[in-house]
Amino acid sequence: TMATMENNDKNTAKIGSQDPSSTADDEYAPSTVLIMLGSMHFEHAGSADVLSLKIASPDERLEALQNASSMIKPNSLESVHVVLKSASISSLFDESVLSTFYEGLAPGTGEVMIHVLPESSAAAADMPVQAGDVDTIRMSLVMAGYRLEMEQSEDGSWILAAKKPGVPEDDDDDDDDQEKEEEEDNGGTRNKEKEETS
């Protein structure tokens, strides 16, 4: 299997060939997912909080995505990056690449970045990726529930950025609610104590 994940110790476990729950670090909680579709001639430098997947064929896609998504806690991801060459859009890209990690992305702040590269660096000048080349990706973002934020051409590549809609979770509000509940509980306890001593 070509799909891999990077662990905290920079050990690499093959997704699909190993149960995610048996990784060396049971508390592994990535904040970023990097998905490389097709043959890529570069390696991710590795970081403890990045889950890195390589998917070389459509046959690997479903199993690799399911195994990877099982490691993601709801609303815990900051970003998902998808890197692919323009020729791989029709064969390797489909909506499941985006929908698999939707629940894992934080509402309002969770971002998906899709980097569509030209076939080669030589082709970047003569045949850059065009807006029409990414119609399928654009539609998949919308169908998966994301809000398209930005599109731009850069050095022959095409980059799309989208966010998961929603209101960011605010920890301060949760603390205020908890304090109110504690005050109510303490108030109720004090009233009972007063009744008992009277």
Predicted confidence (pLDDT) per residue in 138-152, tens digit: 999 999 999 999 999
pLDDT in tens, the chain (198 residues): 333 333 333 333 333 333 344 444 457 789 999 999 998 766 666 667 899 999 999 999 999 999 999 999 999 999 999 999 999 999 999 999 999 999 999 999 999 999 999 987 776 777 889 889 999 999 999 999 999 999 999 989 999 999 999 988 765 554 455 544 555 555 554 455 555 555
For position 2, what pLDDT does the model report? Answer: 34
Tokens linked to 28: 């592994």
Question: How far is Cα 34 from Cα 52, in angstroms, rounded to an integer?
Answer: 5
Residue matched to tokens 């909080």: 49
Q: What is the DSSP letter of 82?
A: E
Tokens linked to 71: 């490691």
pLDDT in tens, 40-66: 766 666 667 899 999 999 999 999 999
Residues 6+ apart with CB under 8 A from 42: none
Query: What's the pTM?
Result: 0.71
Buried b (16+ CB within 10 A) or exposed e, 179-197: eeeeeeeeeeeeeeeeeee
